[in-house]
Chains A and B, each alone.
Chain A
Amino acid sequence: MVNIEQYGDYKTSWCPGCGNFPILKALKEALVGLDLEPHQVLFVSGIGQAAKAPHYINGNVFNGLHGRSLPVATGAKLANPGLVVVVESGDGCMYGEGGNHFLAAIRRNIDLTVLVHNNQVYGLTKGQASPTSAQGFVTRAQPDGVFSSPFNPIAVAVALQAGFVARSFAGMGEHLVEMIQRGIRHRGLALIDILQPCVSFNHVNTYDWYRKRCKPIGPEHDPRDWEKAMALSLKWGEEIPVGVIYQNDRPAFEEHFAVLKEAPLLGRKVDKRALEHILEHYA
């Protein structure tokens, strides 16, 4: 049996009270609950405070460039489909800098579990607006308030028929553990948008603010009903639905590669007879 100590306990560079702490704790609990050992997991991240999370947990890690976690994770998963690949990044990294990759990864439906620490602000660069900041949100960089409309990751993911789309909140530990576990179990791309207070730069969307609004989705919602999921994805305000919003059984991207059907390509030598045969084609 795997225990939580195997996942380590590290000193972090996060602010006291940061929403990253409960997310990291939930991630460890989720992995332990699934009986996954650290070497079976690859954490891929971009840049930002959230993207540092893989440094504070035992596992294989690729901490790459800002916004580029998804392509790296896609390549790694194709190289070794046996790895459980968890992508961890913030809202700026995933939805801003990495927006095109976010759309493409959903369309591919590659088997990744994408955890987005969504605090609606840029923390690492000290408090500028992010793609998910509310209109009118005032920062030092946006003194007149944010003009652009916020990016709705849930609605976009549902619109593109992502394999698995869920929302959770850093302040709801058990709920978050369950969402992460369901996301990892899902075969295909799983997006878990995690609402996360930033105690330093976001004084609007605080723990209290979320606690008042986050409401678990009841059993009456069928996540396989795309139209209802679409409607639910647009709900935001006094009540914010948390839970699995949409799910389908589209085949995972890696299944479409005939060459991956027998075994991973890892460690395979070049078939010289086949290559000789190919050269004859050019005669």
Chain B
Amino acid sequence: MEFLDFNVLIGGEAGQGLQTVGEAFSRALVRSGYRIHVTQTYESRVRGGHNVFAIRFGAKEVLAPTEKVDLLVALNGETLFLHRQEMAPGGQALADEAWEIPEGISAVRAPYKSLSGNGFANTVAMGVAGALLRIREEVLAGALEQILGKGKASLAEANRRVLSSAYRWSKEHCTELEVPSPGAQAVPRIVLNGHEAVGLGAISAGVRFCAYYPMSPSTSVAMTLVQWSKEMSIIVEQAEDEIAAINMAIGASFAGLPSLVPTSGGGFALMVEAVSLAAVSETPVVILIGQRPGPATGLATRTEQADLEFVLHAGHGEFPRAVFAPGSIEECFHLTRKAVELAEKYQGPVFILTDHFLADSYRDVEPFEVEDLDCVLPGEEPGAIPEGGYARYAITPSGVSPRLLPGVSRHLVVADSHEHTEKGHITEDLSLRPKMVEKRLRKYQGLAQEVVPPSFSGPQDPELLLVGWGSTKGALQEAASLLSRAGRKTSVLHFSQVWPLVDAQFLERLKQAKTTVCVEGNATGQLARLIRRETGFKFPMQVSRYDGLPMTPEYILARLARQ
């Protein structure tokens, strides 16, 4: 079998600098001409426990995590025991010479202590592993220096020295591993994780305000905005609670700043009241929900796709909404942009569903062409509207009313959470009520016309059609290609927008396939249920994963084999 990709798994305790070497390694691999895919798993603790930073790399695009480890970089002895079952045939481990090596594992035993001098075991591992993987020392050093940032010069220098001696040791004592040849990358590629891509997409779309309450895994979106807040003139506020966060965003948006609220299921539960405030007051707001396993606090640092139904139904009363579910880094960027645009255009709440896996998954992408990207600028020119005649909620055929901003002209802007008149004032006129309900619901027609259709890949008349949404995209694609190679004609239908659903975009595909399987990171098959409710189509088979780990091609194949 051709040698397509290689999986390096770095394992150790929280606090051992796993993230630093992981990120540096990722960049060094991309700079060496590889495509990468990173999966991180960790426990809900600041120090200790067992964390994993797995980088799968190859010359061509790497779509998904894999369960087989080619090089196990152990930062502690426990890692060797925890992952010994996952070693690929011919796989190697990298360990300290002092540690016990479990039976059946072939390990390079490096003198961590003598090479590190002062406790940079992570840098030693990076140096030794980098040489094993045939990465050039300057590339490794450059990437590490960039990740360590503009911190203490002495620290960077010390790391550089450790890296160098470890690299030299590896060259002198070890045999390089067989790795895929790097590809020739025409454009230098950038390395982003899902939530960095969401944050940058939001910035590029014109988001100027973000309020949040820290919660894993969504905090990283806010941190990306904080990181660039000065350069891009963005206000980011850590609110007293989630309720405040979304209400602040609604206030900022009402007064003219496109706003983003990142949270997770538990935080979103607190925000639900304000989702319907955004809807009735017709105030744009983008809410990102980084899914993690529930109910309640669930598994705080693991992954799941179980909040689709919650987000779909969150908020009292009836109102239109759009729900995006990006499946790749590019989609994280572009669909966040689209979410911001739709929120502004249709003046209401728009959702983005990511999850822990996608949030932390680094991949290489082509740099985005910034020049061609539009940004939103809320508020219209009052034009010919007479001063006293402005009606914030004027009843229109599209349901979208002209939006002026308070304090920008002499027009008065009145918004209300109650049912209201066209001018925004509280009313109990029950003949007006249906007109206002219908006006708001008419926005649904516009939203439906702008739905991103599900992507279809593979043969047009598949024997098997794998259907999924959000972060499982890569696993679905890889599973389909493995099945096809094994002689089972398989295609993939992936939803990166899960609401509204437009039958015409996918129903024929479902009916044409000999058999269909809905693959989801939840126990009850929420997308399958939604499609059945909306179209009557019932999936004959489902694959569900809800153990807190991301969907992998191997998992899909194993489950299919069982059915």
B233→A266 contact, CB < 8 A: no
Is there a chain A Cβ closer than 8 Å to B257's Cβ?
yes
CB within 8 A of B415: which of A62, A77, A277, A279?
A: A62
By the criterion CB–CB under 8 Å, are B200 and A269 in contact? no
Interface residue ranges of A251-277 to B (CB < 8 Å) = 257-260, 265-272, 274-277
Task: Please give the distance in Å from A11's CB to the nearest CB on chain B.
Answer: 11
CB pair B415–A282 under 8 Å, yes or no, is no
> A120-170: which have CB < 8 Å to B?
none
Q: Which of A95-109 contact B (CB under 8 A)?
A: 100-101, 103-104
Q: Is A26 an interface residue (CB 8 A)?
A: no
Are A80 and B407 in contact, CB atoms less than 8 angstroms apart? yes
Contacts of A52 in B (CB 8 A): 426
Among the listed B235, B241, B373, which residue makes an inter-chain contact with A260, where contact means beta carbons less than 8 Å apart? B235
Contact in complex: B239, A71 (CB < 8 Å): yes
- The segment from B165-173, B223-231, B394-402 found at the interface with A is B223-231
Contact B426 A267 (CB under 8 A): no
Residues of A contacting B277 with CB < 8 Å?
A: 64-65, 68
CA of A100 to CA of B416, assembled, Å: 23
- Please, which residues of chain A bring their CB within 8 A of the CB of B209? 75, 78-79, 265
Q: Do A76 and B252 touch across chains, with their CB atoms under 8 A apart?
A: yes
* Cβ contact within 8 Å between B247 and A64: yes
With an 8 A cutoff between CB atoms, is A182 at the interface? no
Q: B196, B234, B254, B405: which has the most chain A beta carbons within 10 Å?
A: B254
Residues of the B chain whose Cβ atoms lie less than 8 Å from the Cβ of A38: 412
Partner of B413 from the list A60, A64, A257, A258 (CB cut-off 8 Å) is: A60
- Of A40-48, A223-231, A239-247, the segment with at least 4 beta carbons within 8 Å of chain B is A40-48
Tell me whether A172 is interfacial, beta carbon within 8 Å. no
Determine, out of B186-194, B441-449, B501-509, B525-533, the stretch whose residues face the partner at the interface. Answer: B186-194
Given known A-B contacts A55-B426, A59-B412, A283-B190, A75 and B250 have beta carbons under 8 A apart: yes
Task: Choose, from B51-59, B364-372, B481-489, the stretch at the interface.
Answer: B364-372
- Residues of chain A with a CB closer than 8 A to B249's CB: 75
Contact with A along B409-433 (1 / 0, CB 8 A): 1111111111000001110000000
User: CA A64 – CA B418 in complex, angstroms?
Assistant: 8
Considering the chains assembled together, what is the distance between the CA atoms of A100 and B425 in angstroms?
Answer: 28
Q: Is B281 an interface residue (CB 8 A)?
A: yes
Most chain-B CB neighbours within 10 Å: which of A37, A61, A62? A62
Chain A residues whose C-beta falls within 8 Å of the C-beta of B534 in the assembled complex:
none
Q: Is A39 an interface residue (CB 8 A)?
A: yes
| Contact A39 B412, CB 8 Å, known A55-B425, A64-B417 | yes
Count how many chain B residues have C-beta atoms less than 8 Å from C-beta atoms of the other chain: 70
**Which residues from chain B contact A277 at a C-beta distance below 8 Å?**
231
Q: Are B417 and A76 in contact (CB under 8 A)?
A: no
Alpha-carbon distance A271/B208, docked complex (angstroms): 12
Task: Answer whether residue B510 sits at the interface, using C-beta atoms and an 8 A cutoff.
Answer: no
- Are B426 and A63 interface neighbours, CB within 8 A? yes
Task: Kindly report which residue of chain B lies nearest to residue A58, judged by CB atoms.
Answer: B412
Pick from A55, A62, A104, A271: contact of B251, CB below 8 A: A62
Tell me, in angstroms, the Cα distance from A38 to B390 when the chains sit together.
Answer: 14
User: Chain B residues with Cβ under 8 A from A72's Cβ?
Assistant: 247-248, 250-251, 254
Residues of B within 8 A of A40 (CB): 407
B303 within 8 A of A: no
- Report the interface size class on chain A: 35 or more
Q: Which residue of B lies closest to A62 (CB)?
A: B415
Contact between chains at B233 and A268 (CB < 8 Å): yes
- Say which residue of A74, A76, A258 sits within 8 Å of B230 (CB atoms): A258
Return B236 CB to nearest CB of chain A, in Å. 9
Alpha-carbon gap, A145 to B249, bound state (A): 40
A278 in the interface, Cβ–Cβ < 8 Å?
yes
> Of residues A71, A73, A76, which shows the largest number of chain B Cβ atoms within 10 Å of its Cβ?
A71
B61 at the interface (CB under 8 A from A): no
List of B residues within 8 angstroms of A17 by Cβ: none
Q: Is B370 in contact with A42, judged by CB distance below 8 angstroms? A: no
Asked if B244 and A100 make an inter-chain contact with CB atoms under 8 angstroms apart, the answer reads: yes
* Residue of A with least CB distance to B379: A267
Check A279–B281 contact: CB distance below 8 A: no
Report the separation of the CA atoms of residues A64 and B246 in the bound assembly, to the nearest whole angstrom.
Answer: 12
Are A47 and B417 closer than 8 Å at their CB atoms?
A: yes
Q: Quick check: is A204 within 8 A (CB to CB) of the other chain?
A: no
Q: Does A83 count as interface, using CB distance less than 8 angstroms?
A: yes
**Given A37, A42, A266, A272, which contacts B371 in the complex, CB threshold below 8 Å?**
A272
Pair B257/A269 contact, Cβ less than 8 Å: no
Cβ A75 vs Cβ B231 within 8 A = no
Asked whether, in the complex, the Cβ of A44 is within 8 Å of the Cβ of B251, the reply is yes
Which of chain A's residues have a CB closer than 8 A to the CB of B250? 64, 72, 75
Q: Is the CB of B239 within 8 A of A266?
A: no
B240 within 8 A of A: yes
Q: CB distance A275 to B417 under 8 Å?
A: no
Compute how far the CA of A75 lies from the CA of B206 in the bound complex, rounded to whole angstroms.
Answer: 16
Flag if B368 contacts A75 (CB, 8 Å): no
Tell yes or no: B179 within 8 A of A by CB.
no
Interfacial chain A residues near B200, Cβ < 8 Å = 275, 278-279
| A residues in contact with B252, CB < 8 Å | 75-76, 78-79
Also in contact, A268 and B231, with CB within 8 A (given A75-B247, A76-B406)? no
* B247 A259 Cβ-Cβ under 8 A: no
Q: Which residues of B contact A260 (CB under 8 A)?
A: 235
- In the bound complex, CA of A59 to CA of B232 (Å): 32
Query: Complex Cα distance A104/B407, Å?
Result: 25
Establish whether residues A100 and B240, one from each chain, have CB atoms under 8 Å apart when the complex forms.
Answer: yes
Most chain A CB neighbours (cut-off 10 Å) among B245, B249, B408: B408
Is B451 part of the contact surface with A, judged by Cβ < 8 Å?
no
- Provided the pairs A76-B406, A83-B407, A278-B200 are in contact, do residues A68 and B243 lie with their beta carbons within 8 angstroms? yes
Query: Is B377 an interface residue, CB under 8 A from the partner?
Result: yes
Q: Is the CB of B273 closer than 8 A to any CB of chain A? A: yes
> A278 to B553, alpha carbons, bound, how many Å?
34
Chain A 209-225: CB-based contact to B (< 8 A → 1; otherwise 0): 00000000000000000
Please report the C-alpha to C-alpha distance between residue A69 and residue B151 in the assembled complex, in whole angstroms. 42
Q: How far is the CA of A47 from the CA of B234 in the complex (A)?
A: 30
Q: Residue B255 contacts which of A58, A59, A80 (CB distance < 8 angstroms)?
A: A80
B349 is an interface residue with CB less than 8 A from chain A: no
CA distance A121 to B20 in the complex (A): 57
Residue-wise, chain B 252-293 has the 8 Å CB interface mask toward A (1 for contact) of 111111010000000000000110010001000000000000
- Asked whether any CB of chain A lies closer than 8 Å to the CB of B66, the reply is no
User: How far is B274's CA from A80's CA once the two chains are assembled, in angstroms?
Assistant: 21
* Residue contact B426 to A104, C-beta cutoff 8 Å: no
Query: Chain B residues near A280 (CB, 8 Å)?
Result: 367
Q: Chain B, 199-226, contact with A by CB distance < 8 Å: what is the 0/1 string?
A: 0100111101101000000000000000
Binary contact track B370-404/A, C-beta < 8 Å → 1, others 0: 11010101010000000000000000000000000
Contact between chains at A39 and B251 (CB < 8 Å): no
CA distance A63 to B413 in the complex (A): 11
Residues of A within 8 A of B234 (CB): 259, 265
B248 contact from A37, A61, A74, A282, Cβ within 8 A? A74
List of B residues within 8 angstroms of A64 by Cβ = 247, 250, 277, 281, 417
Neighbouring B residues of A283 by C-beta, 8 Å: 188-191, 367
11 pairs across A/B with beta carbons < 8 Å? Answer: A39-B411, A52-B426, A62-B251, A68-B247, A71-B211, A74-B237, A75-B259, A76-B255, A268-B208, A269-B377, A272-B370
6 additional A-B pairs beyond A61-B413, A266-B408, beta carbons within 8 Å, are A70-B244, A72-B251, A75-B249, A75-B259, A270-B373, A275-B370
B residues with a Cβ closer than 8 A to A are 188-192, 196, 200, 203-206, 208-209, 211, 228-235, 237, 239-241, 243-245, 247-257, 259, 273-274, 277, 281, 367-368, 370-371, 373, 375, 377, 379, 405-418, 424-426
